[in-house]
Amino acid sequence: MTCLNYINGEWIPAQSGATLESRNPADWRELIATFPRSEAGDVDAAVASARQAYRTWRLVPAPARGEFIHKVGQLLIQHKETLAQLMSREMGKPIAEARGDVQEGIDCAFYYAGEGRRLFGQTTPSEMPNKFAMSVRIPIGVCALITPWNFPVAIPCWKMMPALVCGNTVILKPAKDTSTCANFLVWLFQEAGLPPGVVNLVHGEGETVGKALLEHPGVDLVSFTGSSKTGAEIGATCGRTHKRVCLELGGKNAQVVMEDADLELALEGALWGAFGTSGQRCTATSRLILHRDIKDKFTAMLLEHTSKLRLGHGSDPNTDVGPLVNQGQLQRISHYLEIARSEGAKVLIGGEIVKDGELHHGFFFAPTILDGVTPDMRVAREEIFGPVVALIQVSEFEEAIAILNDTSYGLSSSVYTRDVNRAFQAMRDIEAGITYINGPTIGAEVHLPFGGVKQTGNGHREAGSAALDVFTEWKTVYVDFSGKLQRAQIDNRE
């Protein structure tokens, strides 16, 4: 398959003609697609297209913009299985998870279609007689959306749909590893009838396409999901160029299991949180903080069930854990296991690349449990982004919360307890953008804000109505119908 850029309503190659490849991470011998190796000139064309389209798109009534997004949702339903199968082949996600990824895009479409009729502002009394005061939302302009490979439908939808409903035009720069999914998704926006230039797609490498988007004077906003290191660089660039920027970055999420917890329920949460999407989620459970009274029992339960997880191709319905997305990720996880061993952590299970049988040509890493981990170890503090979970023992609830908070990240968190007082204390004291009580650290819903604190982001939130604050500016409007000059902020009292 040949993927192309989508600029001003046309599918076109990179101006240089250069291409890159997307391959199946479960079997790297399978070529999924080639896609453009775009450069600054391609970005210039996309920005020009988006700026031209913005002139008229911003004037389309918001409810009508929402109707376009609703059509995208209907098309996603029609093509759900095709897109899920493609996703599973291109980035390795088990097919059931891939279907969930597409479903999240569907949910997002229908939610933001409704927001077209709910772009609420405010009215408030003026301090002057015969004067009306209100605030309204207005679009920002051209939005550059830089998305990762782990959720190649859901995350672009989280960004594109609210941006478009708010009246902006967009340029999507997807991850190299999921170029084909991006092409399919943008094709659905085209099929929904969006005018040329409203949605643009530019493939390529972050060092060229991403950099060109960041520095382009015609881009008004950058929304990025990825590593905290890259996010810091993007934030610095946008600060220098006065661009609005939304950063959704890393996590080092923990699940606390107290002595009074339902251990079977906590086990299900731990397995899903740690090994879903092969641990390649910013909300993945990378730390299990276990009360000493249940630690041995829970660890034995966890080991038993982890040993039964089936590695395999994502398209195989019997697969529990798919491959890592590429060779670089495989090397990264292997490196962190070397660090773990050097720090004194004990590998209870896994800890190695798997090349058995049909897995020989893929990027598979065994689900891994590390024991004897202390809060100061790198594997307890740094984002690994793979199927690796560290066990940390605690003696009391307050210690568990303190250790949970003791990282530079603050995205998701989870506490399993039957004590309602502890539950509310956790909700109050945990330093994270998301807290689950008796649920895993993964499982965000599209109508609620998504994002975190500290190095997890820059304060903005995706999803829900909070995303409207990313993609709109507030304008305050005064209407004075008194027929005379009235001076606010002047002391008129006698």
Dig out the tokens for 414 from the structure: 């989870």
Give CA angle at 392 (276, 418), nearest 5°: 75
Question: Token pair of 399, please?
Answer: 């210690």
The H or E element spanning position 255 is strand 253-257
Candidates 181, 186, 228, 231; CA nearest to 407 is 228
Number of H helices, E strands in the chain: 14, 21
Residue 240 CB neighbour total at 10 angstroms: 10
- Reported in sequence order, the residue ranges of 325-400 that DSSP labels E, i.e. its strands, are 346-349, 353-354, 364-365, 368-371, 388-394
Active-site residue (options: 248, 383, 445, 462): 248
Q: How far apart are CA 466 and CA 74, in angstroms?
A: 24
Please identify which of the residues 3, 143, 181, 282 carries the catalytic annotation. 282
Put residue 294 in one of left, alpha, beta given phi > 0 → left and psi -120 to 50 → alpha: alpha
Strands in 388-394's sheet, in edge-to-edge order, are 346-349, 368-371, 388-394, 285-291, 253-257, 412-416, 434-437
Using a 10 angstrom Cβ sphere, with 0-12 exposed, 13-18 middle and 19 or more buried, the burial of residue 341 is middle
Asked if 3 is an active-site residue, the reply is no
How far is 51 from 142, CA to CA, in rounded Å?
6
Which one-letter amino acid corresponds to residue 417? Answer: T
Report H helices in 2-129: 40-57, 62-78, 80-91, 95-115
Q: From CA 66, how far away is CA 57, in angstroms rounded?
A: 12
- The reply to whether 248 belongs to the active site is yes
H or E element at residue 138: strand 131-139
Q: Which long-range contacts (CB under 8 A, 24 or more apart) does 10-18 make?
A: 10/196, 14/38, 14/39, 14/42, 14/203, 14/204, 15/39, 15/41, 15/42, 15/45, 16/41
Cα angle at 273 between 348 and 28, to 5 degrees? 80
Active site residues: 248, 282
